[in-house]
Chain A
Amino acid sequence: MTDFSLWDILRNLLMALRWTVVLSLIAFVGGGIVGALLLFLRMRGGKIANKAVGLYVQLFQGTPLLMQLFLAYFGIALFGIDVSAWTAASVALTLYTSAFLTEIWRGCVASIPKGQWEASGSLALSFGEQMRHVILPQAVKIAIAPTVGFLVQVIKGTALASVIGFVELTKAGSMISNATFKPFVVFSCVALLYFVLCFPVSLYAKNLERKTHGRRA
């Protein structure tokens, strides 16, 4: 057996870290797009759409991400489509992220005072114009901090994709630990790499939050 040095372990983990980052970006961008569509649907689609989106959000927030991943993995396969871990993980994480983001953003839009809607409505702006010129510029400012904060949850969520066989940081860690019989070192490194990835994002989110709150005060 070849001996694995600490550097070998780290190098292999770093290679796998790429896929954690890529999967996080897919989930975040995909989730953002779906989330924005859902938010729009919720605001303009009437009562039924509002209820349906609410149910969708509760479904994803009230069940484990792990189960969602399994369901995506086996659910897509039911339609006779050959699913790779890539597809299943991307689909599940995108849907999961969209549910949380649409809820976060709904809160931000709802926090814009009613008078802003009324005032812009009385200027004969259409819904689209109201959104674009009055509501969104304010809501986006409030939304940035919690959205960045949620990115940390997405990054951590990708770790679960290891369970359906997606080789990202956690899965690579398990594999290397099995090969080297050094689980303590390997999982310490895995945790450290996640920390290095997530901590700056957390700090940035905290900073942004301080700024938004400062501005309002």
Chain B
Amino acid sequence: MNIEFDFGAVLAEWPLLLRGVAWTIGLTAVGTVLGMIVGTFCAWARSGGPRWLRLIVGTYVELIRNTPFIVQLFFIFFGLPAAGVKLSPEVASVIAMVMNLGAYSTEIIRAGIEATPKGQIEAAVSLALSKAQVFLRVVLPPALKKVWPAMVSQIIIVMLGSAVCGQISTEELSYAANLIQSRNFRAFEAFIVATLIYLALSVALRRLLDWAGPKFFFGR
């Protein structure tokens, strides 16, 4: 048996790969920022909001957490146009990623919020801080600090999940790999290269977030 690899043919298409990487990073960045904002809001709603809001957020979280990402993506991209909402693949991908990370980060952040000692909140209230101030300055930072490792893992999972977005022809990394293998028939090599790039991205992303969390969100 003689298996020959030709990685050169794949690497020669580096502009495509680079574009794919850029898209993957872009999708992840937007998805992470917006997803965490959604997650923070929902976590607040779920732990301190009115009852009807809790019910809505709870349903959203359970629905997302118990269905596959690819189905959510297909529903948004293929399903919604039938209901009159037409979206480009890129927008559909971002919405799916934001909704997905939003649901998971809701639970993660909520766990942190509920671990806040009551005395902290009482102390803050007695200093005449408003409700919003108490949440944003007293409750949220230590909550984020506590759950940051879980948050980082979830963001990486969402980044890896974005590979699926190629299926609706968003031009991210896995889409590039697919395009390359359809041009030169080097499928195995193309996917190995893409997989290794994903691995490098996930290692780099973990490093970046481990550094950025304490620096920007909750201090040392």
Residue of A nearest to B65 (CB): A202
- Of the candidates A59, A78, A162, the one whose C-beta lies within 8 Å of that of B199 is A59
B68 in contact with A160 (CB, 8 Å): yes
Stretch at the interface among A63-71, A116-124, A125-133: A63-71
Cβ < 8 Å to B, chain A residues 183-211:
183-188, 190-191, 194-195, 198-199, 202
For residue B191, CB closer than 8 A to chain A, the reply is yes
Bound CA span A75–B80, Å: 36
Shortest Cβ gap from A186 to chain B (Å): 8
Residues of B near A199 (CB, < 8 A) are: 62, 66
Residues of B near A79 (CB, < 8 A) are: 1, 3
Residue of A nearest to B205 (CB): A62
Bound CA span A75–B181, Å: 13
A62 in contact with B68 (CB, 8 Å): no
Bound CA span A4–B66, Å: 27
A67 in contact with B191 (CB, 8 Å): yes
Chain B residues with CB under 8 Å of chain A are: 1, 3, 62-63, 65-72, 74-75, 78-83, 156, 160-164, 167, 174, 177, 187-188, 191-192, 194-195, 198-199, 202-203
Bound CA span A174–B73, Å: 12
A194 in contact with B198 (CB, 8 Å): no
6 closest A-B pairs by CB = A159-B68, A64-B163, A198-B66, A184-B82, A156-B68, A183-B78
B67 in contact with A163 (CB, 8 Å): no
Bound CA span A155–B136, Å: 37
Tell me the dominant secondary structure on chain A's binding face.
helix
Residue of B nearest to A159 (CB): B68
Shortest Cβ gap from A158 to chain B (Å): 8
Chain A residues with CB under 8 Å of chain B are: 58-59, 62-68, 70-71, 74-75, 77-80, 152, 156-157, 159-160, 162-163, 170, 173-174, 177, 182-188, 190-191, 194-195, 198-199, 202
* Residue contacts A-B, CB under 8 angstroms, 19 given: A58-B199, A62-B202, A63-B198, A63-B202, A64-B161, A67-B163, A77-B188, A79-B1, A156-B67, A159-B69, A160-B164, A163-B164, A173-B74, A177-B78, A191-B67, A191-B71, A194-B66, A195-B63, A202-B66
Bound CA span A33–B68, Å: 25
Residue of A nearest to B3 (CB): A78
Residue of B nearest to A20 (CB): B68
Bound CA span A191–B72, Å: 7
B71 in contact with A159 (CB, 8 Å): yes
A62 and B198 contact, Cβ closer than 8 Å, known pairs A71-B192, A202-B62: yes
Bound CA span A90–B188, Å: 18
B70 in contact with A184 (CB, 8 Å): no
Given contacts A159-B71, A191-B75, 7 further A-B contacts (CB under 8 A): A62-B203, A67-B198, A152-B65, A156-B66, A160-B164, A182-B82, A190-B75
Residues of B near A194 (CB, < 8 A) are: 66-68, 71
B83 in contact with A67 (CB, 8 Å): no
Shortest Cβ gap from B65 to chain A (Å): 7
A184 in contact with B79 (CB, 8 Å): yes
Residue of B nearest to A70 (CB): B191
Shortest Cβ gap from B115 to chain A (Å): 14
Residues of B near A59 (CB, < 8 A) are: 199
Q: Identify the interface centre among B1, B68, B163: most chain A CB within 10 Å of its CB.
A: B68
- Of the candidates A68, A170, A174, the one whose C-beta lies within 8 Å of that of B195 is A68
Bound CA span A177–B79, Å: 9
Residues of B near A202 (CB, < 8 A) are: 62, 65-66
A187 in contact with B3 (CB, 8 Å): no
Bound CA span A184–B65, Å: 20
Shortest Cβ gap from A10 to chain B (Å): 16
B79 in contact with A188 (CB, 8 Å): yes
Residue of B nearest to A59 (CB): B199
Residues of A near B74 (CB, < 8 A) are: 170, 173-174, 183, 187, 190
- Of the candidates B69, B83, B195, the one whose C-beta lies within 8 Å of that of A63 is B195
Residues of B near A156 (CB, < 8 A) are: 66-69
